[in-house]
Chain A
């Protein structure tokens, strides 16, 4: 049986890396006794499939993980209780908020997710200044960036990957009393645009404060949905505060 889990990563634990979090999950499977299927071979690993990696120090309200449970033991697993039960074996700040059974034919998260929504604190600018900067980026026909791939500079255009940008609020940030909150939808296909790349594409480049992934979406034949199948509890977007 394959299940898809949605979880949050908030607070101090945001400073762990994607790899660190993967190891926390592995230990949680062992301490919780969840009957997770393993790979064959000399060094069996639990069958877990992560979605898009989250950068160290970024928070998230919508991370996803697919797990294969061992049959027939999977029939005994109480999926309703699983979020609470398994979260208690994970570090503070990593909390499962929904789980659903998915079909094994479902494409992997890495293949299917097409865009992510981010909230990015931008210290040192007023909301008005940020609105002007955003308008400039959105009106650009191309946003060339050079990145290194296999030791060689490769030129790329970021503009097609910027789906939506919006200035939410004026805020004060950890670094500065003046700041604004940027809301961004960034594509992950055909290539992923990272928040840091977006910030560097502004002219002049903007500083990145606290960054939080809010949502991940799958767009399929024009229809947009979240990676959990319909019927799974929807996300609570409000009243989540970091510890």
Chain B
């Protein structure tokens, strides 16, 4: 192996934030390499600050290092200042743990969470000294793997990946390690690469793009077919049945320098069945699997003691839905006793008084801001997207927030949703104005920030057939909203750049032809495209034109029921006819209840894998199965709406 530290060290005094390249985090593993061990380099295709907190990578980092036949280290995308110095001196991409060259590893496994990071992945493979296209790699090159939510349509980046892993990684990472280990111990030759890829394709949850080829008719995509026999027609995602079996990370990394989500994170459940139709995460991670409260409590207590953090986030897609959330939270807050005060954070707050009640219990001290996500401006629009929050729910929540001392409220919305009219867009302004009005009863200058993101239809959601709004249309709606709120005192509007939304759309539902565009954009310097100051739409449009691909065809066109989709050979468990029915229900403005507390409508996620929801309580939390029809008298809600002093109650 090569320890690159002596070569890297002199460069670090010349780059921004050098601490992101030194490793040394609290809780870092001591990787022990050995010739018979499979060495994984776990990679996040963005900066250290964004990538380090990624829980998926931290879980795999521990699981692999616990194995006697595996060892894992980590790497992140070097910022362009260091990249330039590395390239100038021909120093390859390195791990942050022991500063070992990336090409010394058997696998480089990327977490893919955002489409705009794809060019960073290609760049990191290139920096590792590995050919960027899988077809050009030889036996002694590392296998390039990817997991994470974006892999539910890996086709745009398929030509650059050797293997793609669908779903939960906790179990499948062991099976991959075993297959690669057996291959490594045998004699490698160039023909072997295909042999090991074929063996990996036999592992459930593993998709090997090179073993499938796309079929086109004219310009139309007709599907993917196996290149030869022996590989599955349909690759299923992996799902762990019980989160309690995987209390990871056991020793969360504590970085020496500041990162996003810089706190202890404890995952309280995985999966969500609220059924928001725009939400890919909620669709692909079903069913709901709660971690037992006792395990959560001990992970929080151990984690705080070990890390020295004074803040813990209880993570999931909708933490207020955890059964027994109230007692869990009061236990955690109570357990700190006379010791230092612990702040408990919930990443997403439900839009009702119940959610605010929990927040009231959590946030001691200063109450800066609370965030809600009504997602759409009118009840009609919210029925279409199945986010069944009534205006009263939002107003009750906002009133509770202001009454309990919060002064700033942030509201998240999507624009460019199916069937959206200007009335729906202006509804956002109306909601914001009413929220400020409510705030005036409690505060002199209440503030409501409206944050608007352009909607990108995602694979394996009911909206996968929907034609995304154009840049012009999104911008028109944003302008409409901006004009409508211009004179509203206390309302600020922020928005995501619609140009970036277009590129996300191309990658979200593109097919393999889009890979050429990625390579061209990368070759023209288009890395860190998820960073505003680096994003360049012209790079993307000129690459699309160069490869004779039409952005309209990929993004703005409605798909038909019989059209082959680039991810039809993959399965998240969801029946395609369930999704199609849900799409029709959306257009008919019909809502769908949360199946945790109502009868099964057979989406396929449980039945297909013979697993079930693991929910400790059979009764829905206060607020009902969708946050509607709340009966605040029937259940304890820790909110006193009469309090106007801002003093916690």
Contacts and interface: CB of A to CB of B under 8 A. Distances in A.
A93 B19 CA distance: 13
A13 interface: yes
B308 A56 contact: no
A15 B18 contact: yes
A75 to B, nearest CB: 18
Given A15-B18, A16-B257, A91-B24, A31 B341 contact: no
Contacts of B21: 15
Contacts of A42: 365-366
A174 B19 contact: no
A20 B5 CA distance: 21
Interface stretch (A22-30, A138-146, A222-230): A22-30
Given A27-B254, A175-B10, A43 B365 contact: yes
B597 to A, nearest CB: 38
A20 B258 contact: yes
A93 B9 CA distance: 15
B534 interface: no
B309 interface: yes
B630 to A, nearest CB: 31
Interface in B336-390: 340-341, 365-366
Interface in B257-275: 257-258
Contacts of A174: 6, 9-10
A27 B341 contact: no
Contacts of A23: 258
Contacts of B24: 12-13, 91-93
Contacts, number: 65
Instruction: Name the residue among A15, A56, A174 with the largest chain B CB count within 10 angstroms.
Output: A15
A76 to B, nearest CB: 16
B10 A13 contact: no
B257 A20 contact: yes
A61 B310 CA distance: 30
A57 B366 contact: no
B227 to A, nearest CB: 47
B12 interface: yes
A20 B306 contact: no
A10 to B, nearest CB: 13
**A: interface residue count bin:** 20 to 34
B22 interface: yes
Given A27-B307, A31-B306, A44 B257 contact: no
A12 B22 contact: yes
B19 A44 contact: no
Contacts of A20: 19, 256-258
A29 B308 CA distance: 8
B341 A44 contact: yes
B13 interface: yes
A44 B51 CA distance: 30
Contacts of A89: 308
A112 interface: no
A77 to B, nearest CB: 17
Contacts of B487: none
A13 B256 contact: yes
A119 B307 CA distance: 35
Interface string B1-44: 00001100110110001110111101000000000000000000
B155 to A, nearest CB: 40
A43 B342 CA distance: 11
B256 A91 contact: yes
Interface string A2-24: 00000000001101110110011
Nearest to A28: B308
Given A13-B256, A16-B257, A174-B10, A27 B18 contact: no
Nearest to B21: A15
Contact of A26 (B12, B17, B18, B308): B308
Interface string B240-283: 00000000000000101110000000000000000000000000
B10 A27 contact: no
Nearest to A92: B24
B305 interface: yes
Contacts of A19: 258
B19 A16 contact: yes
B18 A30 contact: no
B13 A57 contact: yes
B313 to A, nearest CB: 16
A26 B256 CA distance: 12
Contacts of A92: 24
Nearest to A176: B10
Nearest to A15: B18
Nearest to B13: A57
A71 B315 CA distance: 38
A27 B22 contact: no
B257 A30 contact: no
A27 B365 CA distance: 20
B512 to A, nearest CB: 41
Contacts of B13: 15, 57
Interface in A30-47: 30-31, 38, 42-44
Contacts of A30: 308-310, 340
B13 to A, nearest CB: 4
Nearest to A211: B13
Contacts of B23: 12
B123 to A, nearest CB: 23
Nearest to B367: A42
A26 B18 CA distance: 21
Contacts of A24: 256
Contacts of B306: 31
B309 A13 contact: no
Contact of B22 (A13, A26, A31, A175): A13
Contacts of A26: 308
Nearest to A242: B9
28 contacts: A12-B5, A12-B9, A12-B22, A13-B24, A13-B256, A15-B12, A16-B22, A16-B257, A23-B258, A27-B254, A27-B307, A27-B308, A28-B308, A30-B308, A30-B340, A31-B305, A31-B308, A38-B340, A42-B365, A43-B365, A43-B366, A56-B19, A57-B12, A57-B13, A89-B308, A91-B26, A174-B6, A174-B9
Interface of A: 12-13, 15-17, 19-20, 23-24, 26-31, 38, 42-44, 56-57, 89, 91-93, 174-175
Given A16-B22, A28-B308, A31-B308, 8 more contacts: A13-B24, A15-B21, A16-B256, A30-B310, A31-B306, A42-B366, A57-B12, A174-B9
